[in-house]
Amino acid sequence: MESVPGIDPAVPPTGPGCVECTEAEGWWFHLRRCAECGHIGCCDSSPGQHASAHEQATGHPVIRSYEPGEDWFYSYREEAVFEGPPLAPPEARPASQPAPGPAGRVPANWMDLLH
């Protein structure tokens, strides 16, 4: 597969959860991985919307789902889902980590807090 702008297949993810939510002891609904630098951020349904904030701050145009069993990419510039190359492992959050997550930090009324 030829190289795709905004995707670096060699860069590993930054960790098992949203960087900013982890630092703030927050929670997320689903996770997204920056395909350029590996930053893990939470989806736009999550309270923090950190994946989109990362794109806005850095200009990194492509994310990939960081959920088990999902391998889709999304281009912010094209506003489109597409297929892309395999990325450095791991390809998803740990299967033992719930969604929403992380365990122990998700409020009982989490559905009311989604965007």
Q: What is the pLDDT of residue 96?
A: 93
Residues of the chain with pLDDT under 50: 1
Q: What is the pLDDT of residue 2?
A: 58
Q: What is the pLDDT of residue 40?
A: 98
- Token pair in block for residue 31: 């996770």
Q: What is the pLDDT of residue 4?
A: 81
Q: What is the pLDDT of residue 77?
A: 95
CA distances from 17 to 3, 23, 92 (A): 27, 10, 10
